[in-house]
Amino acid sequence: MEGNLVIVGSGLAGYSLLREFRRFDAHTPVTVLTADDGAAYSKGDLVAGLARDRRPSDLVIATAEQLAFRYQARIQPFTRVMRIDRGNRTLEAPGGAVPWQRLVLATGAQAAVPRLRGTGTNRVLSVASLSDYAYLKAELAGRRRVALLGGSRWGCELADALVRNGYEVHLFEAQGRLFSGALPGLCSARLARTLERGGIHVHLDSGVQRVDREVGGLKVFPYSGDPILVDLVLATQGTEPRADLAREAGLAVGRGIQVDGRMTSSDPDVFAVGECAEMQGRVINLPEDIEASSKYLAAILCGRPARWPGQPRVEALNLPDCPLVLCAPPKVPGEWQERADRDGVRATFTDDRGRLRGFAILGAAVSERDRLLAEVEAKR
Ligand SMILES: Cc1cc2nc3c(=O)[nH]c(=O)nc-3n(C[C@H](O)[C@H](O)[C@H](O)COP(=O)(O)OP(=O)(O)OC[C@H]3O[C@@H](n4cnc5c(N)ncnc54)[C@H](O)[C@@H]3O)c2cc1C
């Protein structure tokens, strides 16, 4: 036995790691410290939950007590870790120091909020957790007009869910292209058109510079165009890994906590997994990648043979009227080529050696997903 394991965070990454670790090792003491109530839920269900008007408790898959019993772990909810003491191998937390021999940081990410001026900036909301969801649902009751700041995948899905529930929705995207600038031009334009046909006011190339409190709501000032009066403003432009604990402890941090090919930070006994972690310049933020890398890390921690699951990053947009799949290419020189017809758009990214490295398909073209994915995998 290599000593106790402490996991900070009870999101998809923290609990996937716990589950996979227990498959290999039934005995090593494991403690999970988490700032929230420790309930397991899927963030993907937050948007679907809004669309179907589900209560926060409906989205809970298992409580902290149930998981502690199932995985024979000590789970400490409402315990926000304040500091990592690497010298003494302890965590500073309410209730006293917690010793660790191996530490896994699974602290996730928070919503990135654009830099704004104005008297209403502290009223900008985000939905990054189940408690945010509960708060947002209460705030939406009796309101009608919502502004979303950012055309990320979650922003597009949220806009669609809100408009289907009768809200007037304005979606602002400063980068000119949806999916936080990741979609190629024709795909982004077709998606924007579909959202507009559904009743969403899409403001492309139009970031928001200021939010002011007004009688009757919040006034949103875009960089171009007239101000708009709404009831609620939500930040949906993307995420920022929560890496402060690691940074303050002197670990290497870029956008996220930097880990090597064995998910190890710059301290050999500290690991990071999930949306707080960055490997080879990329944050691990897609649910499938988080689950696969948690499995990989569990094998490493248990001394089992492990192969890095490194798979192409595939995101699907779950809109009934506009199926879309993006397989984002790595950051290599190359170019997008797009072909559009009445039924859909097909875009492929080829590197400068002529190899297919990514694609975006929309509408009828999504039927090509498996074939294109197989080609990307074969050319890696
Ligand atoms: C604003 C936002 C919206 C998103 N929307 C979606 C969506 O609609 N669909 C989707 O599939 N994915 C969505 N994602 C991505 C999603 O977060 C990831 O796919 C995945 O759920 C991240 O899992 P995680 O375990 O890394 O982080 P999280 O699920 O965020 O878990 C982090 C955990 O760390 C704990 N924690 C943080 N700091 C501390 C501390 N100091 N001490 C103790 N505990 C701490 C938190 O309490 C939490 O338990 C969204 C992400 C964000 C930020």
* CATH, residue 365: 3.30.390.120
* Judgement on whether residues 343 and 355 belong to the same structural domain of the protein: yes
Q: Whose CA is nearest to atom 33 of ligand 1?
A: 9
Contacts of 143 (CB under 8 A, 6+ apart): 167, 231, 232
* Judgement on whether residues 248 and 328 belong to the same structural domain of the protein: no
Residue 38, both tokens? 């420790």
Residue 315 lies in a domain: no
* Judgement on whether residues 97 and 126 belong to the same structural domain of the protein: no
Q: Whose CA is nearest to atom 16 of ligand 1?
A: 43
Q: Whose CA is nearest to atom 8 of ligand 1?
A: 44
Q: How far is the CA of 128 from the centre of ligand 1 (A)?
A: 6
Closest approach atom of ligand 1 to CA 46:
8
Rounded Cα distance, 230 and 317, in Å: 26
Residue 281's pLDDT is: 87
Residue 58 lies in a domain: yes
* Judgement on whether residues 259 and 287 belong to the same structural domain of the protein: yes
Residue 232, both tokens? 């609620």
Contacts of 27 (CB under 8 A, 6+ apart): 1
Range of the domain at 360: 323-379
* Judgement on whether residues 232 and 259 belong to the same structural domain of the protein: no
Pocket of ligand 1 (CB under 6 A): 8-14, 33-36, 43-44, 46-47, 80-81, 106-111, 126-128, 154, 239, 242, 245, 274-275, 285, 287, 290
Q: Whose CA is nearest to atom 4 of ligand 1?
A: 128
Q: How far is the CA of 241 from the centre of ligand 1 (A)?
A: 9
Residue 354 lies in a domain: yes
* Judgement on whether residues 222 and 133 belong to the same structural domain of the protein: yes
Residue 2's pLDDT is: 62
* Judgement on whether residues 141 and 161 belong to the same structural domain of the protein: yes
* Judgement on whether residues 17 and 88 belong to the same structural domain of the protein: yes
Q: How far is the CA of 256 from the centre of ligand 1 (A)?
A: 13
Residue 65 lies in a domain: yes
Q: How far is the CA of 354 from the centre of ligand 1 (A)?
A: 37
* Judgement on whether residues 123 and 88 belong to the same structural domain of the protein: no
Q: Which of 272, 274, 279, 284 is nearest to 246 (CA)?
A: 272
- CA 322 to chain centroid, in Å, comes to 21
Residue 77 lies in a domain: yes
Residue 310 lies in a domain: no
Residue where a domain terminates, one of 237, 258, 285? 237
Rounded Cα distance, 135 and 132, in Å: 5
Phi, then psi, of 42 in degrees rounded to 5: -110, 130
Closest approach atom of ligand 1 to CA 93:
42
Per-residue pLDDT of the chain (380 residues; tens, 9 = 90+): 467 999 999 999 999 999 999 999 999 999 999 999 999 999 988 988 887 888 999 999 999 999 999 999 999 999 999 999 999 999 999 989 999 999 999 999 998 888 899 999 999 999 889 999 999 999 999 999 999 999 999 999 999 999 999 999 999 998 888 987 789 999 999 999 999 999 999 998 778 999 999 988 999 999 888 999 999 999 998 889 999 999 999 999 999 999 999 999 999 999 999 999 999 888 888 888 999 999 999 999 999 999 887 776 888 987 888 899 999 898 899 999 999 998 899 999 999 999 999 999 999 999 999 999 999 988 67
Residue 148 lies in a domain: yes
Residue 309 lies in a domain: no
Indicate the number of domains in the chain: 3
* Judgement on whether residues 233 and 248 belong to the same structural domain of the protein: no
* Judgement on whether residues 117 and 221 belong to the same structural domain of the protein: yes
Residue 297: CATH number of its domain: 3.50.50.60
Residue 34, both tokens? 């988490």
* Judgement on whether residues 201 and 185 belong to the same structural domain of the protein: yes
Rounded Cα distance, 99 and 77, in Å: 17
Residue 263, both tokens? 């998910």
Rounded Cα distance, 123 and 150, in Å: 16
Residue where a domain terminates, one of 213, 237, 261? 237
